[in-house]
Amino acid sequence: MSAPKPAYQRILLKLSGESLLGKLDYGIDFKTTLSIAQEIKDVHALGVQIAIMIGGGNIFRGSHGTAEGLDRVSADQMGLLATIMNGIALQNALEKLGVFTRHVSALEIRAMAEPFIRRRAIRHLEKGRVVIFSAGLGSPYFTTDTAAALRALEIKAEVILKATKVDGVYTADPLKDSKAKRFGSIRYMNVLKRGLRVMDATAISLCKDNDLPIIVFNLRKNGNIKRAVLGENIGTKVY
């Protein structure tokens, strides 16, 4: 039997910092990180070029800092540093599994990651390396959702896979409203009009203006990254 053919050849996977928590309340659960790395390896084995944008909410979220009285710029900078820590952890997990990676930071921190240079990042992908993007766009006021959308466009990814803790986009928060209904697919404009919490409005607008689809799916179900890449009908497609 021939191997399944991926629906996408180059993807950007958006991972929240919370995805690395596992059962912890704070920090990085390395068993969970290794499990996610194994799923990424399985997709990589299909010949898919993979870039990852990692968040930092498991360590520090800028919005929480501002709520406690921190200056917005300082809080966001702390959040960016948290994503670098997660990037190092994910890189370590992938390389333990024999996957060649490059950690690319939007902040200059050469001892731990290389700077973002668009053509170099694309070349890494072409050579079969998994590219991990951290530090968002390196600037405050921009979320890692917006960073994911922009980096996906810069590297010419065919789709953004947004891994979450729920199985798609709902009319309301399904963890709070038992009557919430899931969309099989939804247009960008309807996401914006309804104020649905898929990605922030800037990220959705970037994807809309450049016809970049987003697939929102549940990361907690093993094999879902691969299913999404193979084009199976999981989660919600924003188009």
The pTM score is 0.95
Q: What is the pLDDT of residue 23?
A: 92
Angle between helices 201-209 and 144-154 (to 10 degrees): 20
Of 106, 239, 134, 226, nearest to 184 (Cα)? 239
How many whole angstroms from its chain centre is CA 162? 5
Task: Say whether pLDDT at 148 is over 90.
Answer: yes
DSSP H helices, the chain, are: 30-44, 62-67, 72-96, 118-126, 144-154, 188-194, 201-209, 224-229
Given a contact cutoff of 8 angstroms between Cβ atoms, the answer to whether 185 and 239 are in contact is yes
pLDDT in tens, 10-68: 999 999 999 999 999 999 999 999 999 999 999 999 999 999 999 999 999 877 788 88
Q: Dihedrals φ, ψ of 200, to 5°?
A: -70, 165
pLDDT in tens, 172-207: 888 788 889 999 999 999 999 999 988 999 999 999
Residue located via tokens 């929240």 = 16
Of 96, 162, 164, 106, nearest to 130 (Cα)? 96
What span, in angstroms and rounded, lies between the C-alpha atoms of 146 and 185? 21
| Alpha-carbon distances, residue 237 vs 11, 109, 186 (angstroms) | 14, 35, 6
Sign of CA dihedral 20, 22, 24, 29: negative
Given a contact cutoff of 8 angstroms between Cβ atoms, the answer to whether 232 and 225 are in contact is no
Pairing state of beta strands 49-54 and 185-186?
A: unpaired
Task: Say whether pLDDT at 1 is over 70.
Answer: no
pLDDT in tens, 78-112: 999 999 999 999 999 999 999 999 999 999 999 99
User: What fold does the segment set 10-166+223-233 form as a domain?
Assistant: Carbamate kinase (3.40.1160)
Task: Say whether pLDDT at 114 is over 90.
Answer: yes
